[in-house]
Amino acid sequence: MNEHDFQLRLRQHLNVSARNVSTPVADRLLQARQRALSRQKKTVRKLSLAGLGQTFSEHVLPQGRTALAMIVVVLAALGSGFLGEWQHAADLEEVDSALLADDLPIDAYLDRGFDAWVQNDSPD
């Protein structure tokens, strides 16, 4: 007997036995079947993408708020550093522009104390 023949004989036997079941038992079997089908539908949804959907919903989503907060903090720190460097470059540009616009003699730029004077005179 091959597998197909076995399936046919088993199905026939189950069909004959199902006809001889009382009404209360048939109702309970129907309810059990409906519960099993509803569970199967939930399981099929969870098993989508070979388990990646369930893994994502169980592990990533609960940690999502924490991860999002960490990303925001890192971006704020990087943005603050970038903004500080940008402001420093703008300050240096302003000092350079002021120095170039003045009619100072070239000897003033060659003076050793001039660098210290520019650093002390520039706004912080």
pLDDT digits 0-9 by tens, 63-108:
777 878 888 999 999 999 999 898 888 888 877 777 777 666 667 6
Token couple for 25: 């038992």
Q: What is the pTM of this model?
A: 0.34
Q: To which residue do tokens 């023949």 refer?
A: 5
Q: How far apart are CA 57 and CA 82, in angstroms?
A: 35
- Residue 115 forms part of a structural domain: yes
Whether 56 is in a domain gets the answer no
What is the structure's pLDDT at 54? 65
Judge residue 54's burial from the number of C-beta atoms within 10 Å of its C-beta, 0-12 exposed, 13-18 middle, 19 or more buried: middle
Could you tell me the residue range of the domain that residue 110 belongs to?
64-124
pLDDT at 73 (0 to 100): 92
Q: b/e for 82-120, b at 16 or more Cβ within 10 A?
A: eeeeeeeeeeeeeeeeeeeeeeeeeeeeeeeeeeeeeee
For 22-70, write each residue's pLDDT tens digit. 889 888 888 998 888 887 766 555 555 556 666 766 766 667 778 788 8
Pair (37, 70) in one structural domain: no
Same domain, 70 and 112: yes
In-domain check, residue 52: no
Residues 42 and 68 in one domain: no
pLDDT computed for residue 11 by the predictor: 86
Structure tokens at 61: 């989503």
Distance CA 52, CA 58 (A): 10
Q: Which of the four pLDDT bands, split at 50, 70 and 90, describes residue 15? A: confident
Per-residue confidence (pLDDT) for residue 51, from 0 to 100: 63
The total number of residues shown for the chain amounts to 124
Residue 58 lies in a domain: no
Query: For residue 34, is it within any domain?
Result: yes
Structural domains in the chain (count): 2
Residue 51 lies in a domain: no
- pLDDT at 75 (0 to 100): 93
